[in-house]
Chain A
């Protein structure tokens, strides 16, 4: 590929591309401000806390998706993406709920089985993409459908209540006056952040996603990092299952669709927050909170649930379209 020989590749188009880069944020903040003025009590401490609590499972799966995108590159079709994470979260929640509530299995054993299932999904996705060279988008979409199917078999597609004290603590407990789920998630984010941005392994994973050839020349093995990214992503699905159980006081069918929608929206919206304009952990986390705020805002305004789906789907399209537009302007 010939490099432009001019001194600064982005000169000239930088003004326009900066506007395009900022557009998703402007749209989002605009919608939030609109909701703030129109929804009763939206700008209150209680609502803020509700937003944070609601966003927790999305934040956790967003961590996983961000890592896969970082390792596989941010091209939506050929790059890294893992749509199976929400399904992993839902099946783990289903396994735990079914075993603990309906068969009196000890919680720890149920958790171990759920972890096993998650790892299996992650390894399958990783092997299919890195060893067989399948496209991540279609592979993980198929996995999503298959895993959701298995979940329906496991739970008989019914709602299962869970009243285990640990899950109740995640829902109602408080640490230093802040909801336990939020505090634990914040801790998780910090651990992942350190892992990705402050360790050699994490930086090398980003290098692999940024330029496969550059990483190979530097002696790194791209397949290794991408494989482990899928395994880590499945692990975040496993972690998210606890927060799903806590948020819904058990496992309920149909959670996966909304979770996937919000995960994709939040992660790619997050790129707009990053100074480098790429998918990052903090960007995805902020994105997840914003998306949750939007959902709750619509609910308090009394917007029909079905319309919310249209709005969220359109937002994903807008965010992706702007990303595509921005790379066109820059090239």
Chain B
């Protein structure tokens, strides 16, 4: 048997303006489960896409079973026995399990499809290879999420040619109880001599299932752990993070005012449950959590975009029930959405129109917009926030990401809202604009606004917030003061490497 199933050496890949991979290497041995970890943007997905033939590397070599592969195309890689289990399920809800497993590789006779044979083959595969019983005639939409994941795996492996399987965040859609089912299947694959690359943000899963782990940071492989046990989570985090909190943040400590927003026992089936939180005037409360932790859905629910199935929200001590964002805005609660291009701005409207969108009644008279008053208002906001170029008539689409985000903020600043929900406010924004946005948020807090800041950047949360709530799989698992919190500690909490109550000395005195 050869020394490695897969050997990727010195892979380089540059996108315009970004070095995604810089002499990165990855080596996978036969029959092992190899973990691949790193923060967002570390280069994990880029190297997987190079292997898949989606991206073509600028430099470096790829060998499978000690045979160099060149060029790397999806066909060659498939023929060499490499399979990919994508994060999304990509199944047809009204197809049967059998039809889904054999999609694109149906067994036929001269008379047409051999449904019986395919069904039997699929059921045998589930029993023997994945160690579960799944009826081949059942519809996908009647299956639970874990079973759907297994159907997706079966589709990739049914031809029996797989030697290396890449799992990309396979547990992201699963509830914690369903994960064991998937792990049992993955271990069975390993027992059959199939090598596995396991990409995940959940370090608890990595230490649970992997034999070896490669850590990526800034486009390189910075560490390889040859022996993995529960105790190496800290070592992984150190290798992943490798930095201190930047000096971007204007934080100066806030004076906490009256209780403004409170949620009790908030829940939405399948997304989050039993969420209780509070925010005071003049306070910035952070919400940390991986993508899929329920953080996004929680923000949407607070804002009235999604109905809450259970629990209640009180504003200024009065219970409220928002059936739409308009209700929330009317009560002084506003949202800066994570996807500003889709949800935050009307891209083809001018900056002035976007800024005045939420306060049209102030710039109109008997329902007719007063152009001059509107433009004046917009110009004032543009000056205050330093939006560039400083022309209120320019179409929003033409602004840079940072200036678009400032336009969204300008709209809500104009309404003098009391509660700001900020969902990833600095995603895709350059450093200069980041500093300005942080200063704006800080000013809001100082002027007495209550701010909920949901972010996937641990540095930003620690740098900006007074308190941080950590969400994992739909629950708040930690609540801690941001003072003295290190990035390592916060990453350990969000990735499940640190269990409840283990962040000593950071329990918040509520």
A positions within 8 Å CB-CB of B: 1-10, 12, 194, 198-200, 203-204, 206-207, 210-211, 213-215, 217-220, 276-278
Contact check, A215 vs B93: say whether CB atoms are below 8 A apart: no
A6 to chain B, nearest CB (A): 4
Contact check, A8 vs B95: say whether CB atoms are below 8 A apart: no
Tell me the dominant secondary structure on chain B's binding face.
loop
B470 to chain A, nearest CB (A): 18
Q: In chain B, what residue has the closest Cβ to A73?
A: B92
Q: In chain B, what residue has the closest Cβ to A278?
A: B94
Contact check, A200 vs B175: say whether CB atoms are below 8 A apart: no
CA distance A9 to B93 in the complex (A): 11
Query: Restricting to B96-116, which residues have a CB under 8 Å from any CB of A?
Result: 99-100, 103-106, 108, 111-113
Question: Given A203-B99, A276-B94, A3 and B89 touching (CB < 8 A)?
Answer: yes
Question: Given A4-B145, A199-B108, A276 and B139 touching (CB < 8 A)?
Answer: yes
Q: In chain A, what residue has the closest Cβ to B78?
A: A219
A75 to chain B, nearest CB (A): 13
23 A-B residue pairs with Cβ-Cβ distance under 8 Å, sorted by A, are A3-B145, A5-B145, A5-B473, A5-B474, A6-B270, A7-B144, A198-B111, A198-B113, A199-B113, A200-B106, A200-B108, A210-B92, A210-B93, A210-B94, A211-B90, A211-B92, A213-B88, A217-B90, A218-B103, A218-B104, A218-B155, A220-B103, A276-B139
Contact check, A4 vs B271: say whether CB atoms are below 8 A apart: yes
| Residue B127 is within 8 A (CB to CB) of chain A in the complex | no
| Residue B174 is within 8 A (CB to CB) of chain A in the complex | yes
Question: Given A210-B92, A210-B93, A210-B94, A198 and B112 touching (CB < 8 A)?
Answer: yes
Contact of A2 among B100, B111, B139, B271 (CB under 8 A): B271
Query: Restricting to B103-150, which residues have a CB under 8 Å from any CB of A?
Result: 103-106, 108, 111-113, 139, 141-142, 144-145, 148
CA distance A207 to B142 in the complex (A): 17
Which chain A residues border B99 with CB–CB below 8 Å? 203, 207
Given contacts A200-B108, A203-B113, A214-B90, 15 further A-B pairs with CB under 8 A are: A2-B292, A4-B145, A4-B269, A4-B271, A6-B144, A198-B112, A204-B103, A204-B106, A211-B90, A211-B92, A211-B93, A218-B104, A220-B103, A276-B94, A278-B94
Q: In chain A, what residue has the closest Cβ to B309?
A: A12
CA distance A12 to B142 in the complex (A): 13
Contact check, B145 vs A214: say whether CB atoms are below 8 A apart: no
Question: Given A5-B474, A210-B95, A214-B92, A220 and B173 touching (CB < 8 A)?
Answer: no
Which chain A residues border B89 with CB–CB below 8 Å? 3
Which chain B residues border A194 with CB–CB below 8 Å? 112
Contact check, B90 vs A213: say whether CB atoms are below 8 A apart: yes
Which chain B residues border A277 with CB–CB below 8 Å? 94
A212 to chain B, nearest CB (A): 9
Contact with A along B390-414 (1 / 0, CB 8 A): 0000000000000000000000000
CA distance A2 to B139 in the complex (A): 19
Contact check, B94 vs A5: say whether CB atoms are below 8 A apart: no
Contact of B269 among A6, A206, A276 (CB under 8 A): A6
| Residue B91 is within 8 A (CB to CB) of chain A in the complex | yes
Which chain A residues border B103 with CB–CB below 8 Å? 203-204, 207, 214-215, 218, 220
A256 to chain B, nearest CB (A): 32
CA distance A6 to B173 in the complex (A): 10
Which chain A residues border B86 with CB–CB below 8 Å? 217
A-B pairs with lowest CB-CB distance, top 5: A210-B92, A218-B104, A4-B270, A198-B112, A5-B175
Which chain A residues border B94 with CB–CB below 8 Å? 210, 276-278
B158 to chain A, nearest CB (A): 11
Which chain B residues border A2 with CB–CB below 8 Å? 173, 271, 292, 297
Which chain A residues border B144 with CB–CB below 8 Å? 6-8
CA distance A219 to B297 in the complex (A): 33
Q: In chain B, what residue has the closest Cβ to A217?
A: B90
CA distance A213 to B270 in the complex (A): 24
A217 to chain B, nearest CB (A): 5
Which chain A residues border B106 with CB–CB below 8 Å? 200, 203-204
